């Protein structure tokens, strides 16, 4: 059975919500400035404006305003993310094992772009490009009148996922250095989410602040390795034939153990 997606919110609705957020923040700022003035007739100095803004930020008022004003966008952001994955089938394969982590809020969905870049690093550009093309062909073959039959897609595209999975042990031979590198990639350009080509919403996290730490990186790796654990012996043999790799995940799994 093919899945369906919710109707997108129009660009005008998105802009309206962002306008409401902007008005709320500006009104809060004006109130803060007025509270600092001794008299309505006093001139406003630049230093007073800076202090008022610092006061709003330090008191958490901006964050509270944004949380209320943007609460209605949460569902739309999730729909946007799902629609993006529908257009990026290879990225969908990479993120499928991470779905429980996303749903539980243990890993932010915004790591999708970073994971795509990390996969290119693991696979190499030439192989990654070939796998993307092959994945798109499978999507086309699994597309029905009502959309893509994703269950059929995952079954058919499993050998493509294996090409990434079997290369993880070699990629993490120097575990600490590679994990640090992966986290650097996943934390690139965080702190904002694109709603459309020209509309970007800040999520409240600074782009210079890591949102994926070592513990979350280990959760991602463990989720990827769990797909191997779920295979039968026959499927593992098929994986070795399909990829040309007979890999052992024991060393990588040991690095993920608590206290390692």
What's the confidence (pLDDT) of residue 176?
93
Written as six digits, the tokens of 250 are: 């024991």
On whether the CB atoms of residues 175 and 217 are closer than 8 A, the answer is: no
On whether the CB atoms of residues 30 and 56 are closer than 8 A, the answer is: no
What's the confidence (pLDDT) of residue 148?
84
Q: How many CA atoms lie within 13 A of 169 on its CB side?
A: 14
What's the confidence (pLDDT) of residue 186?
87
Count the Cβ atoms, other than its own, within 10 Å of residue 74.
Answer: 9
Could you report the average pLDDT of every consecutive run of 10 residues in the chain (260 residues)?
A: 42 61 69 66 66 68 63 54 66 93 88 88 93 93 86 95 96 93 79 39 44 92 95 95 93 83
What's the confidence (pLDDT) of residue 73?
53
Count the Cβ atoms, other than its own, within 10 Å of residue 225.
Answer: 17
Please state, in angstroms and rounded to a whole number, the distance separating the CA atoms of residues 164 and 98: 14
Written as six digits, the tokens of 53 are: 């803004």
Please state, in angstroms and rounded to a whole number, the distance separating the CA atoms of residues 137 and 143: 10
Angle between helices 61-69 and 11-36 (to 10 degrees): 150
Helices (H), the chain: 11-36, 46-58, 61-69, 74-87, 89-95, 99-103, 112-123, 125-141, 150-156, 158-165, 168-171, 175-186, 214-229, 233-243, 250-255
Q: Which residue has the tokens 């993920």?
A: 256
User: For 107-143, b where at least 16 C-beta lie within 10 A, e where not — what string?
Assistant: bbbbbbbbbbebbeebbeeeebeebbebbeebbeebe
On whether the CB atoms of residues 246 and 240 are closer than 8 A, the answer is: yes
On whether the CB atoms of residues 227 and 160 are closer than 8 A, the answer is: no
* Residue ranges of domains in the chain: 9-69, 73-255
């Amino acid at each position: 059975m093919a899945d369906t997606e919710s109707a997108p919110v129009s660009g005008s609705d998105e802009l309206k919500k962002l306008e409401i957020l902007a008005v709320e923040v500006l009104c809060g700022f004006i109130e803060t400035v007025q509270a600092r003035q001794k008299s309505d007739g006093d001139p406003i100095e630049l230093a007073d404006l800076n202090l008022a803004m610092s006061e709003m930020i330090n008191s958490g008022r901006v964050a509270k305003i944004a949380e209320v004003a943007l609460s209605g966008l949460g569902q739309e952001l999730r729909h946007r993310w799902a629609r993006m994955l529908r257009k990026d089938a290879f990225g969908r394969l990479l993120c499928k094992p991470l779905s429980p982590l996303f749903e539980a809020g243990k890993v932010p969905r915004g790591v999708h772009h970073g994971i795509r870049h990390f996969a290119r690093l693991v696979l190499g550009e030439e192989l990654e490009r070939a796998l993307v093309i092959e994945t798109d062909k499978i999507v086309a073959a699994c597309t029905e009148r009502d959309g893509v039959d994703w269950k059929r897609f995952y079954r058919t595209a499993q050998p493509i996922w294996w090409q990434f999975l079997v290369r993880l042990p070699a990629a993490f031979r120097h575990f600490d250095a590679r994990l640090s590198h992966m986290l650097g990639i996943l934390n690139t350009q965080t702190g904002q989410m694109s709603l459309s080509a020209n509309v970007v919403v800040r999520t409240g996290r600074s782009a210079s602040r890591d949102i994926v730490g070592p513990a979350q990186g280990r959760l991602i790796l463990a989720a990827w390795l769990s797909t191997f654990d779920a295979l039968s012996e026959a499927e593992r043999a098929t994986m070795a034939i399909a990829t040309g790799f007979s890999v052992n995940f024991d060393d990588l799994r040991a690095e993920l153990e608590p206290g390692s």
